[in-house]
Amino acid sequence: MKKILSIGLLLLCCVPMFSRTRAEEIREGLLKRDPSKVFVASHRADWRNWPENSLEAINSAIEMGVDIVEVDLQLTKDSVLIIMHDAKLDRTTTGKGKISETNFADIQKMRLKNGVGIYTRHKVPTLEEVLNLAKGRVMLNLDKADRYFDLVHAMAKKTGTERQLIMKGRKPAKEVKELYGDYLDEILYMPIVHLDDQKDYRQVFDGKDHPKKTVTAEKSRADREAAEKEIADHMKVLNPCAFELLYATDENPLPFKLKKTMKGKSLIWYNCLWDTMAGGHDDDAAMHDINDGYGFLVDKLGVGIIQTDRPAMVIDYLRKRNLHD
């Protein structure tokens, strides 16, 4: 009997213990609409310290502790998916011209520029390189990726990362279901909904005076009603785990209403890149008064995901409030 028990214990010790990866934990939290934490999405990775969308910027953001890294996709002339925001090479690399008219081998000869336009030793990464780097470590929000959905999914399958991908978009719910329905059990799709007309509020900061556009009460009400219908359609057809919501000013009552009506149903994602995307409670506002920036989004609007250009600051703030690991 003792011999049998010893053999049993030996076999038990030999069975590998599989723990969840960090990416799996993040995905589970998103799907559970976990209200106990606020997830952090880093815009173009850690571009303040490394060239934007570079492997080094992505790795730095992961090590910093972000939950989601947002990167951008483009397709070369010879159909290689690369990580880059612009359709042209000029701003972020030492090259020039359209990516769609340039072969990948030529792009590999170029170097990425940093945030002040100085060339570095870093190269333009491929989607495959990024997926392998991120595997098991973080969720990836692939921006501008719906144009290449089939190619993206094939590459994700190849690298075993299909359950780490987030895609967002503004297509109607039924169209999303028709186009991508076969993939939605793996890839997380999050609708983007404008709670007002961004064109009515966004200003051009070029040193000139621009007349502020007058928005009538009727126009504002119509925009809010259209947004609520759009959200209801997505909830009925897709039941997404999160929505990215955009609104320009706190004069709009809809963001405050949605904090209550969406609680437990979908997480709310706010993008803090500039003022009219998050009612003026953006990264710049947080730099002046963090409670008027990120604190407002948490306390007044029930934010579940914050997209930011200052991920270290957001994570530090949330950790102090026990809202992030």
Read off the pLDDT band of 273 (50, 70, 90).
very high
The four Cα atoms 170, 171, 173, 177 give a dihedral, to 10 degrees, of: -130
Q: Is 115 helix (H, G, I), strand (E, B) or coil?
A: coil
Read off the pLDDT band of 105 (50, 70, 90).
very high
Instruction: Give 161-218 pLDDT, tens digit per residue.
Output: 999 999 999 999 999 999 999 899 999 999 999 999 888 776 655 555 555 567 888 9
Q: Is 37 helix (H, G, I), strand (E, B) or coil?
A: coil
- Per-residue pLDDT for 151 more than 70? yes
Mean pLDDT, rounded, for 99-119:
96
Read off the pLDDT band of 97 (50, 70, 90).
very high
Is the separation of the CB atoms in 236 and 173 below 8 Å? Answer: yes
Q: Is the domain 20-72+127-320 a CATH 3.20.20.190 member?
A: yes
Instruction: Give 282-293 pLDDT, tens digit per residue.
Output: 999 999 999 999
pLDDT for residue 200: 77
Which contacts (CB < 8 Å, 24+ apart) does range 229-235 have? 230/172, 230/173, 230/191, 230/193, 231/191, 231/193, 231/258, 231/262, 233/172, 233/173, 233/174, 234/173, 234/191, 234/193, 235/265, 235/266
The enclosing H or E element of 305 equals strand 305-308
- Per-residue pLDDT for 310 more than 80? yes
Q: Could you tell me if residue 219 is left (phi over 0), alpha (psi between -120 and 50 degrees) or otherwise beta?
A: alpha
For all residues of the chain together, what is the average pLDDT?
Answer: 92
User: Position 206: which residue type?
Assistant: D
Q: Which residues contact 15 (CB under 8 A, 6 or more apart)?
A: none
What is the sign, positive or negative, of the torsion defined by CA atoms of 323, 301, 140, 187?
positive
Q: How far apart are CA 135 and CA 204, in angstroms?
A: 39
Is the separation of the CB atoms in 241 and 248 below 8 Å? Answer: no
Q: How far apart are CA 146 and CA 133, in angstroms?
A: 22
Read off the pLDDT band of 23 (50, 70, 90).
very high
- Per-residue pLDDT for 15 more than 50? no
In this structure, what DSSP letter does residue 294 have?
H
pLDDT for residue 211: 54
In this structure, what DSSP letter does residue 119 have?
B
Greater confidence, 146 or 77?
77
Q: Which structure tokens are listed for 56?
A: 């080094």
Q: Which residues contact 105 (CB under 8 A, 6 or more apart)?
A: 78
Query: DSSP readout, 54-79?
Result: -HHHHHHHHHHT-SEEEEEEEE-TTS
